[in-house]
A and B are shown apart, each in its own frame.
Chain A
Amino acid sequence: MSLASSGLTSDSSGQPAVASRRPFSAVSGPAESAPEATPAVVLRGVTKTYPNGKSALRDVSLTIPTGDFVFLVGPSGAGKSTLIRLLIREELATRGKVLLDGRDLARLNRRDVPNIRRRIGTVFQDFKLLPNKSVRDNVAFALEVTGTPRDRIGPAVDRVLRVVGLAAQADQRPSELSGGEQQRTAIARALVHDPNLFIADEPTGNLDPLISWEIIQLLLRINEMGVTVLMATHNAEVVTALRKRVVGLDDGRVVRDETGAAYHRED
């Protein structure tokens, strides 16, 4: 599987466009991140107990430095989705602290929540695209609903569509696209706000292995742009092959946190 066939390098104008809108990417990349910099994500003793008494997370502590690429693995029901819902502040921790770029999510004003979410790009297994809108309109929607002036929407959308290699499919509807193209549309939408943190919840869960690799390559590219990436996955092959940091959850606890290890699917 080469980069060229994934569509990433087929559009040469994508790379400079990205570089110009992220002037700090060179200093905030994974290798250069300074140790004293504020980590992108910090969880301190986080417990999440639902009203029915079920504990989804138990005393989880985790630090993700800015620019890191982290796999979140574990069997179904281990707490991966709960962790992600806490990070995008869909839910609040029962105990403990969740910090994004040093900001305590529990102390956030209700009106500041949208601002935090604009700094997080999120993609899911089911893509969450609007079926009646074209690729371009799906991506533009994220800017429209956050009050971006009309004249700035078009150029921003074109830029991210080039990054994900969908410039040619801009006018097609999701139903006319392959699964991989749909997920790339979702990724473009998640990127259009220029996020600091990119969260992918089982992004390849609905895709065949070949297409899955395309998506992974794209996430790696995004990470190279300086964006912190957290990817929850069951895909053992990908995790093992990439030798990135792996955080394993089981029954709501962190059971492993290591870099470069293999992963065997246990569920």
Chain B
Amino acid sequence: MLAFVGFSLKRAWQGFWRNSLMSLAATASMVLMLVLLSGLLILLSGLDATLKYVESEVEVVAYLKDSATAQDVTLLTDDLRAMPQVESVTYVSKDQALKNFQERQPEVASLVQALPSNPLPASFEISLRDPSDYIDVATYLRAQSAVDSVQDIKQTVDQMITVINVLRTGGIAVLAIVGLTVLFIIVNTIRLAVVARAEEIEIMRLVGASDAFIRWPFVLEGALVGLFGAVITTCLLLLVQAPLTSLMAGFFNVLPIQASAIVGQNVALIVFATGIGIGVLGSYLSVRSYLSR
């Protein structure tokens, strides 16, 4: 067993470097595919996290007209609290809204102070027991004279889901094409390696080498292409991690996610599994069709 493992590893290593140009070309295409894969994974996980955040925050925000009286506010609050779909109601006055805005965007605070009057409307923030009850509550609010407008978060969420689905489907399609191409390249690389060793394989069969001894060095050679591809991809990802994180943080600046370590770990795991998996599959297919003659 030990002799088998040692023999296979040694031969796989020799095989990889014997036709190094071809092996490195296969590794490069493997890297290309894995970079695409991890890019898609990171983008999708970012969008998914955003979606989850937005969904968890699904609440109805109703902006009040400036003409709304304190009585209107009290009446509306009572009515809303009485609705079974509503979990809680928070009233944000014009002053409170301004304060919140200044806290969130301190860099433009002075700009707001320069305005002659407070431009921000008062609002109700209503969180729901179930996001699907959104329509009921929004319809009720829109009918009230004191309500200026109802923010349509539902529509935003639906748009995001559409974007994510398009990205996912398109990404998977592109990945499938690139993956098949890489598989094809590996099948060919290993086929060349097998043909280059045809003489040795003939001798191995003559002297009574089992199929495993003939097959495994090539399968491991394919795995090596996948492994090298995954290592290079991971290094590339680590290199771009810092700039990418700040870019993402700027892009999704509302998100309180600290998920990058977990995402990174998962992506690395998937990159290694995919790289080695495709390497093994490609070389296995290649050797199997050759040996079954």
Contacts and interface: CB of A to CB of B under 8 A. Distances in A.
Given A114-B208, A114-B209, A116-B208, A145 B7 contact: yes
Given A114-B209, A145-B209, A146-B208, 15 more contacts: A111-B210, A115-B208, A117-B207, A118-B207, A119-B208, A128-B199, A128-B202, A141-B207, A142-B207, A144-B3, A145-B214, A148-B3, A149-B3, A150-B6, A193-B207
Nearest to B7: A144
A82 to B, nearest CB: 16
Contacts, number: 60
Contacts of A149: 2-3
Question: Which secondary structure characterizes the binding site on chain B?
Answer: helix
Contacts of A111: 210-211
Contacts of A190: 207
Question: Which secondary structure characterizes the binding site on chain A?
Answer: helix
Contact of B203 (A114, A130, A148, A193): A130
Contacts of B214: 145
Most central of B7, B209, B213 by chain A CB within 10 Å = B209
A119 B207 CA distance: 9
A145 B207 contact: yes
A130 B202 CA distance: 11
Interface in A122-145: 122, 128, 130, 141-142, 144-145
B205 interface: yes
Contacts of B3: 144, 147-150
B interface, how many residues as a size bin?
20 to 34
A88 interface: yes
Contacts of A159: none
Nearest to B214: A145
Nearest to A115: B208
Contacts of B200: 130, 141
A48 interface: no
Nearest first, the 8 A-B pairs at minimum CB distance are A118-B208, A117-B208, A145-B209, A142-B207, A114-B208, A114-B210, A145-B204, A147-B3
Nearest to B209: A145
Nearest to B202: A128
A265 to B, nearest CB: 28
Contacts of A97: none
B240 interface: no
A145 B213 contact: yes
A189 interface: yes
B206 A193 contact: no
B290 interface: no
B252 interface: no
Interface in A68-115: 88, 110-111, 114-115
A212 B210 CA distance: 33
B4 interface: yes
A14 B203 CA distance: 26
Most central of B206, B208, B213 by chain A CB within 10 Å = B208
